[in-house]
Amino acid sequence: MPSIATIWGSTRAERELPFPCDGVLPDAPFDLYRAVTVEAPAPVVFRWLCQLRVAPYSYDLLDNGGRRSPRELTPGLDELVVGQRFMIFTLAGFDPGRQITLRILPGRPRRLFGDLAVSYTVVPDGETRCRLVVKLRVDLPGDRLVARFRRTFLAWGDLVMMRKQLLTLKELAERDLLVGADRWERRPDLDDQHAVRSGR
């Protein structure tokens, strides 16, 4: 039975969608979903997702050595290439303006959390609003009881950290929309439903 720890913020329709991480770990037995509504255009939210290359945007005291995740966009972080580092992940795939899919690094991160793939998907809802929907696929080794305990621990721990992450990214994307309201323009390389801030 789904709980808030496994499906926080998501709708049934969103959970039934295909996600790119499904192909990264097709046999993973455990899925987590998280989602928020963001009052900002999809390209702005996607650009903030690119900031995850350098900072977690969650509880910085716990997972960023006390350093504050940047509150301004870092130039060049949206120049994505498969294989790039995203904190304790590598970039497994991306669709510009739409989604990034990450896989946890081998070694200590994978031993601690299991083999894990995650897709951050931006779903437009009009020109100035979108849904940020995240799916995690998790493959945790071990016998049935141990694996169940680790999955439960991971689900609740991830809920605490990712909820904070998504709400922080939401706040920053909505702030940028507000302060840049008089500097928005269409970019010809994006479809007509997208808007990006001038000069970005």
Residue 118 predicted with pLDDT over 90: yes
Q: What are the phi and psi torsion angles at 187 (to 5°)? A: -110, 135
Count of domains observed in the chain:
1
Contact indicator for 38, 173 with CB cutoff of 8 Å? yes
Domain extent, residue 24, equals: 4-197
- Residue 177 neighbours by CB distance under 10 Å: 20
Q: What is the pLDDT of residues 131-161, one digit of tens each?
A: 999 999 999 876 778 878 888 899 999 999 9
CATH number for the domain spanning 109: value is: 3.30.530.20
pLDDT at res. 78: 96
- Please give the Cα distance from 31 to 197 (Å, whole number): 34
Residue 24 predicted with pLDDT over 80: yes
- Please give the Cα distance from 59 to 67 (Å, whole number): 10
pLDDT at res. 151: 86
Residue whose pair of structure tokens reads 């999955």 in the numeric block:
151
pLDDT at res. 146: 80
Residue 194 predicted with pLDDT over 50: no
Q: Which amino acid is at 18?
A: P
Name the strand (E) or helix (H) holding 120: strand 115-124
Q: What is the pLDDT of residues 56-70, one digit of tens each?
A: 999 999 989 899 999
pTM of the model: 0.86
- Please give the Cα distance from 118 to 104 (Å, whole number): 9
pLDDT at res. 178: 65
Residue 197 predicted with pLDDT over 60: no
